[in-house]
Structure 1
Amino acid sequence: MRAVLLLLALLAAAPAAAGEAKPARIVSLNLCADELVLRLADPGRVASVTYLARDPRGSTVADLAAQVPVNRGLAEEVVPLAPDLVIAGAFTTRATTAMLRRLGFEVMELGVPTSLEEAYAQIRQVAARLGEAERGEAMVARIKAAMAALPPAPADHPTAVVLRPNGFTAGRGSVPDSVLARVGLDNLAARLSTDRMGQLALEEIVIAKPDLLVVNSAPDAPPSLADELLHHPALAPFAKAARTVPLPIRLWACAGPGLAEAARRLAAARERIAPGAPSPLVGAPAGLLQ
């Protein structure tokens, strides 16, 4: 009986129909959507974003999210807000988005961009639906201008590997792969891994002998078993040779200005590599993996 009453209450709160008017009450159910909504829409139009948006370890908009109500992706939280637009990820909060659609709410789903151009397109897509097309174009223009200001790439691209907790990497068909190419770095994982979110064994990294190791983890994250690989002695030569780049995942996990900052840091690291200098793992002592 309680379930029936709850459903009736939800139906009563649902909008009569979704429209294309400029939304006045926006709810985000996805961290990447949080960033775009908070950067593109006026604060008074944002009814709620995810609780993740307030965590500076994973969010680039923690300051903007501080004064906005948050949610944990539950339909019971969203419906009372009476949003006229809900933005969700294509692979997250599936039960919630299905329920909201059945209740008549407009749900806009964001996929995962596979290149810089797709990231720019996603910014424009969200900005257009928010009724802020000019702000979207301005954001894209700023990112492109920052990319254009990077130092020119050398003819021979140094190799790099992105290493995330549990040995995950950034392979082909990913925005990080596109950023690496943009700054003149050859992503070894695009050859070694099978997809954009593949894993690399420590042995594969050592054998591949990359010139640069991009450690894609939050420096202030609590200790965990997932991070053990990032601190393995076999990778110590990178730190000793200043060939390690700490790069928080938040900078290039989503479409937004963080992409330009990630590119700037990578370009600066690439500039530190002397032309023709061997990888830190060339000539590494035997038994390093033991």
Structure 2
Amino acid sequence: MTLLRAKRLLDCSVYAALLAGALAWGPPAAAKPARIVSLNLCTDELVLRLADRDHIASVTWLSRDPRNANMAEAARAVGVNHGLAEEVLAARPDLVIAGTYTTRSTVALLKRAGLPVHEFGVPGNLAEMRSQITEMAALLGEEERGARLVAEIDERLAAIAARRTATHPRTLVLRPNGFTVGRGSLVDEILTTAGLDNIAADLGIESYGQIALETVALSKAQILILNDTPGGSPSLADEVLHHPLIAKLGTRLKLVPLPSRLWTCAGPSVLDAIALLADAMKDSR
């Protein structure tokens, strides 16, 4: 027997054991799942906001990092995973929650093993964000908590709209590698909800696209929003955010550092981003 064939047989036997174990457990017929595993940073946040701690088997290890996650403290109270099928199966979950674009091989394996896996997409606007919260709450058997959370979001949006001025400062977002956001994105709606005029949308940029620093300089923006990750490790992608030109632009427009965690995921924390931007526009030049 060749070494390669032996390895393949071993892999098959491991998978067969995992599959048999998963099928033997079987999810309990309960309305409210008692052992939830989340495999995505954004679903982590909603699970941590809506589910009881003792019903959460694990969330991703990323959710314990306060630089990138909004529920880091809560995440420290539950188990963590690294998106590996072995970890998930060992947790004996009765519900696995994943993102449409993440941990694809793990999700495929878990589905083959017969585990209940529910995938969530990426909301493109605030209405889809509300719908996703409601969907997650129903999945977790926490409809009342979901309804309260959506009501709190609507109350905050109404309060921000009530104090918004009639002016709409011209605004650009600058992210690592020179990326910005245009039409058809949640960030674009966040900007307009805060009362800002997104120049990237006027330039015809759809969703996400790159923008040259020369364009930023000539855009006549009044506010430049910079992606900010306090305490993050240095990277080449972030070099554009520290270019000397940005400092010079700060003499004629308002630079607003915005923690990326506030709008990385479509959840309640985007209201903090909207409020921060609404306050920033008050004294824009």
Q: Kindly state the Cα deviation for residue 154 of structure 1 after the two structures are TM-superposed.
A: 3.2
Secondary structure at 2:210 match in 1: coil
- Pairing 1:78–2:71 present: no
Q: TM-score, normalised by structure 1?
A: 0.89
SS at match of 2:209: coil
Q: Does 1:42 align with 2:52?
A: yes
Query: 2:43 and 2:56 mapped to 1: Cα distance?
Result: 12
Give me the CA root mean square deviation.
1.7
Cα distance change on mapping 1:102 and 1:20 into 2, 3 Å: farther
Q: 2:70 aligns with which of 46, 60, 65?
A: 60
1:134-283 → structure 2 map (5 Å cutoff):
134-150=144-160, 152-192=163-203, 194-241=205-252, 243-273=254-284, 277=285
Q: Shift of the alpha carbon at 1:241?
A: 4.8
CA distance in 2: counterparts of 1:111 and 1:37, whole angstroms: 15
TM-score w.r.t. length of structure 2: 0.91
Read off the aligned partner of 1:90 and give its amino acid letter: T
Which runs of structure 2 are paired with 1:126-137 in the superposition (5 Å)?
126-137=136-147
* One-letter code aligned to 1:187: N
**How far apart, in 1, do the equivalents of 2:210 and 2:277 lie?**
21
Q: Could you tell me how far apart the structure 1 residues matched to 2:153 and 2:54 are?
A: 26
Alignment of 1:12 with 2:23, yes or no, is no
Aligned length: 274
2:85–2:106: 8 Å Cα contact kept in structure 1? yes
Q: Shift in Å at residue 6 of structure 1?
A: 0.9
Q: Which stretch shifts more, 109-118 or 138-147?
A: 138-147
SS of the counterpart of 2:123? coil
Partner of 2:40: 30
Structure number having the greater helix percentage: 2
Deviation track 1:159-189 (CA, whole Å, cap 9, x = no partner) reads 1111111111222111111111111101112
Higher strand share: 2
Measured in 2, the distance between the counterparts of 1:241 and 1:63 equals 39
Gaps of 5+ in 1: 278-290
Shift of 1:5: 2.2
The CA deviation at 1:18 is: 8.2
Deviation at 1:19, TM superposition (A): 5.8
Residue identity over aligned pairs, in percent, reads 52
